[in-house]
């Protein structure tokens, strides 16, 4: 299984800026940054782009997977299939695609059996406590009200990061905590790390930036 000490996870979402060939372009940019500073950079494209982007040799995770069986199932994103397309893991339970906790538990186990990483998202401390018990590889704390607002959670609500870290480590010490929501610059990343996070999950701060290369380089530069 892949392991990343302090990853910068870039969720491309379904922004128009990454439509067509642009998702491949941003992955190639990320690869150039990765080669220059040797930081842990992960791209999460829409499932339809996983295969194309995996050829860039940048670590790729799916934005979502479904707890549906391999075989005669239509319209679902299946872990075994995204792995065959080159994905090394998946985001699970993003605030824009919530699923039942029983499904999260099943998917964390399923991904682990496939030697794939799980990045499980939690909205608040109550969900952090519940989802930590499933021992995902990464747990990302992302208050929904701050996502895409340009106000970093490390500034708006720093205690939720420190409290999340303490709670996660008390329940499942091997889980790495990521910080998301509103991150726009390296100061936000540095603050998140100081508060105990071990990486960040970001989207619009990169995708909608004036220069993908400069922004990815800036954000990853402060990672260990």
Domain count, the chain: 1
Secondary structure of residue 201 in the 3-state scheme: strand
Residue-wise pLDDT tens digits, 27-51: 999 999 999 999 999 999 999 999 9
**Could you report the average pLDDT of every consecutive run of 10 residues in the chain (224 residues)?**
90 97 97 95 96 95 98 97 98 96 98 98 95 98 67 72 93 95 87 93 95 97 90
Known catalytic membership, residue 64: no
User: Is residue 118 a part of any domain in this protein?
Assistant: yes
Which CB contacts under 8 angstroms, 24+ apart, belong to 157-162? 158/191, 158/195, 160/124, 160/125, 161/192, 161/195, 161/196, 161/197, 162/195, 162/196
In the set 64, 127, 142, 218, the catalytic residue is 142
User: Is residue 214 a part of any domain in this protein?
Assistant: yes
Known catalytic membership, residue 94: yes
Radius of gyration of the chain (CA): 16
User: Is residue 190 a part of any domain in this protein?
Assistant: yes
Residue-wise pLDDT tens digits, 64-79: 999 999 999 999 999 9
pLDDT of residue 180: 83
pLDDT of residue 146: 56
Domain span holding position 144: 8-221
In the set 64, 94, 198, 218, the catalytic residue is 94
User: Is residue 2 a part of any domain in this protein?
Assistant: no
pLDDT of residue 159: 86
- Provide the CATH number for the domain around residue 53: 3.20.20.70
User: Is residue 82 a part of any domain in this protein?
Assistant: yes
């Amino acid at each position: 299984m892949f392991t990343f000490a302090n990853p910068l996870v870039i969720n491309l979402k379904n922004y128009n800026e990454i439509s067509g060939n642009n998702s491949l372009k941003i992955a190639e940019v990320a690869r150039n940054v990765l080669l220059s500073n040797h930081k842990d950079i992960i791209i999460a494209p829409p499932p339809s782009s996983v295969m194309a982007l995996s050829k860039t040799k940048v670590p790729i995770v799916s934005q979502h997977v479904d707890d549906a069986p391999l075989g005669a199932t239509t319209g679902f994103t299946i872990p075994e299939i995204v792995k065959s397309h080159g994905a090394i893991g998946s985001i699970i339970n993003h605030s824009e695609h919530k699923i039942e906790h029983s499904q999260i538990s099943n998917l964390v186990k399923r991904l682990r059996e496939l030697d794939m990483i799980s990045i499980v998202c939690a909205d608040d401390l109550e969900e952090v406590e519940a989802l930590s018990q499933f021992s995902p590889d990464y747990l990302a704390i992302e208050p929904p009200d701050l996502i895409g607002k340009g106000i970093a959670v490390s500034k708006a609500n720093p205690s939720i990061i420190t409290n999340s870290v303490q709670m996660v480590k008390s329940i499942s010490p091997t889980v790495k905590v990521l910080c998301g929501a509103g991150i726009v610059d390296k100061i936000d990343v540095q603050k998140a790390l100081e508060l105990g996070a071990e990486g960040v999950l970001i989207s619009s701060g990169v995708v909608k930036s004036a220069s993908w290369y400069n922004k990815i380089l800036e954000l990853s530069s402060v990672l260990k």
